[in-house]
Structure 1
Amino acid sequence: MTVLVGRVPGSDTGAGALVLGARLARALGGPVVVCTVTSPGEDAAPDPAPVVDGIDGVDVETTVVEDRSIPGGLARAAHAHQAGVIVLGDAPPGPGSVGARLARSADVPVALVGDDAVHDGPVTRVTCAWGGGRHASRVLATAVDLSRRTGASLRVASFGPQRGPTVPPEAGLHAEEVVVEQWREQMVAAQRAALTELGVTDAETLAVAGASVEEAVESIGWDDGEILVVGANAAGTATRVLLGDPGGAIVRGAPVPVVLTPGTTTLA
């Protein structure tokens, strides 16, 4: 499986993307294609050779694509090279960022990583953020596929705030605890049912509530070699995931690389 690593000209970021791309390529048994997107009419593309120095253990190819849009160019390059995943140094993604726009337009998973999350060892664990909903089972299938291909353990986690909109402040602490416990039980039951359908029996399941979603995410503990899988449906969920609501809080709170998957296909 080809791993496409996007390079943004003139940016100092990207070391984390190259390291993660190489990690994934080693585990998935494919080459790395480092793609630079340039604007039409530029005099010359930057030399990509120095960018790939130090990538060992995988075949590396470089390519340059002309496009008015960096996300559009990367999505086109991923299709041309039959890439199973696009890796980009853009974390955490913000409104209008390349990563946010790419996740909306790409029909393959998009992995986002910051240079402060660089880890050159193997993938040790894959955590899937489970929120229920229409595409949850297919998002989980991507996480299961990734864990199997990398030999990593699998964890499924749901995150929520301690006090939800259904618990008014005047209801009292006991009522809040009851509602949170019911939510935990429902989430874990749904996680286990979905795992059973996929034939998975050895995954860790949990549901955690905190003062905020970000706090809940931070509280579960993360390995240096971990990857988080979050749903980002191409029909529009990506906008909500990246810009706000629970999905955005999960992405912001995670100290590890994040794979945003459209939930319409597993790694191919």
Structure 2
Amino acid sequence: MRYVVGYTDNDRGQDALELATSLALTQSAGIDLVTVLDWPQDGSMAPGSTRAREALERAKASVPEGIEVSTHLRLADSFAQGLLEVVGEIDAGLIVIGGSSNGLLRRFTVGSVANAVLHSSEVPVALAPRGYRHRSAFTRMTCAVGARTGAEGLLDVAVESAARRGLPLRLVSLVALDEHDPDSSGEAINKAHQHANSVLAQAVRQLPDGHEASVIVAHGPTIEQSIDDIEWDAGEFVLVGSSRLAQHRRLFLGATANKMLRALPVPMVVVPRDWVRAEP
């Protein structure tokens, strides 16, 4: 398994590198650091090529021993295009990028590169929150569960990924309450608990015997406030599915995932619709 990292010589690039390192340590995967420069207009060497190569080498040297790291300096019409070209060439299983530098500390803001990748990638995309500096193997995987079409596929991916990595699996159901209708809010919470427990039972049946699995239902006036009430571990990431509106094996963030993205203090991995892991 290889992870393509969108690297730039700034805080956003460092966020992505830290996340990729943690994932690689957990998965025993290799890292491909990719910097993309614009095509020069006059056919000469792209401006900044030397600095970019030096920055890539410094980033490579900072990765812990035992992780295989390759570097790529690409010319493309856009950063996202360059990343996706490398993904196709090396058959990578994941793209890792940092959030926008305009976000609040430990929160996401999706910049233009992340937005373009999220609408074009055929492989999962991992997003690092601003200021992310966790650099060790992950200790828990959380999967956002819902009742919409396609949710079963995400659960299958989460179960397989947690079992392969030996990580405890936590299932999270988020409920935004209608403060003007307490009766409907109570009904929504009860339905969420019933569904979450049903999904947990299904996950336990699929996981190896003795594998740790749990479920939590969080609710509040908004999805963002529901997330704020959840306890998050530093060594945790969240798996979410692509919207049902996405094309086959493509990414498209739905409304709930976008709200989660704005509030999460931990990395988010977005899985394409109908995605199936290619490696055994």
> One fold, TM greater than 0.5?
yes
Q: Distance in 1 between matches of 2:72 and 2:253?
A: 32
Deviations 1:11-58 (A, max 9, x none): 442112112112222222221110111111224521121222320130
Q: Distance in 1 between matches of 2:276 and 2:21?
A: 20
Please report how far the alpha carbon of residue 222 of structure 1 lies from its aligned counterpart in structure 2 after TM superposition: 0.4
RMSD value, Cα: 2.4
Q: Distance in 2 between matches of 1:118 and 1:12?
A: 10
Q: 2:247 aligns with which of 213, 235, 255?
A: 235
Classify the secondary structure of the residue corresponding to 1:117.
coil
Q: Which residue of 2 aligns with 1:21?
A: 20
Deviations 1:103-123 (A, max 9, x none): 111111100003422211210
Q: Distance in 1 between matches of 2:116 and 2:184?
A: 38
1:61 aligns with 2:70: yes
> Runs of 5+ in structure 1 lacking a partner?
none
Per mean C-alpha deviation after superposition, the further-off stretch among 25-34 and 212-221 is 25-34
Q: 1:128 to 1:134 in 2, by over 3 A?
A: same
Q: Distance in 2 between matches of 1:177 and 1:103?
A: 32
Question: Residues 88-237 of structure 1: matches in 2 within 5 Å?
Answer: 88-90=97-99, 92-94=108-110, 97-163=112-178, 169=180, 171=181, 173=182, 175-192=183-200, 194-195=202-203, 198-199=206-207, 202-233=212-243, 234-235=246-247
Q: 1:43 to 1:114 in 2, by over 3 A?
A: same
- Residue 191 of structure 1 aligns with an amino acid whose one-letter code is V
Contact kept, 8 Å, 1:217 with 1:253, in 2: the verdict is yes
- Residue 138 of structure 1 aligns with an amino acid whose one-letter code is G
Question: Residues 24-103 of structure 1: matches in 2 within 5 Å?
Answer: 24-41=23-40, 42-43=46-47, 45=49, 46-47=52-53, 48-56=56-64, 57-90=66-99, 92-94=108-110, 97-103=112-118
> Runs of 5+ in structure 2 lacking a partner?
41-45, 101-107
Q: 1:177 to 1:115 in 2, by over 3 A?
A: closer
Q: Distance in 2 between matches of 1:111 and 1:225?
A: 14
Deviations 1:49-83 (A, max 9, x none): 12223201301110122211211211111111111
Deviations 1:160-215 (A, max 9, x none): 21218xxxx2x5x3x14531333223431442354256346742122221121111
Q: 2:256 aligns with which of 227, 246, 252?
A: 246
Q: Distance in 2 between matches of 1:198 and 1:105?
A: 31
Identity of aligned residues (%): 26
Q: Which residue of 1 aligns with 2:43?
A: none
TM-score (normalised: structure 1): 0.86
Per mean C-alpha deviation after superposition, the further-off stretch among 77-86 and 232-241 is 232-241
Q: Which residue of 1 aligns with 2:103?
A: none
Q: Distance in 2 between matches of 1:265 and 1:176?
A: 35
Classify the secondary structure of the residue corresponding to 1:83.
coil
Q: Distance in 2 between matches of 1:252 and 1:136?
A: 21
Contact kept, 8 Å, 1:19 with 1:118, in 2: the verdict is yes
- Residue 17 of structure 1 aligns with an amino acid whose one-letter code is A
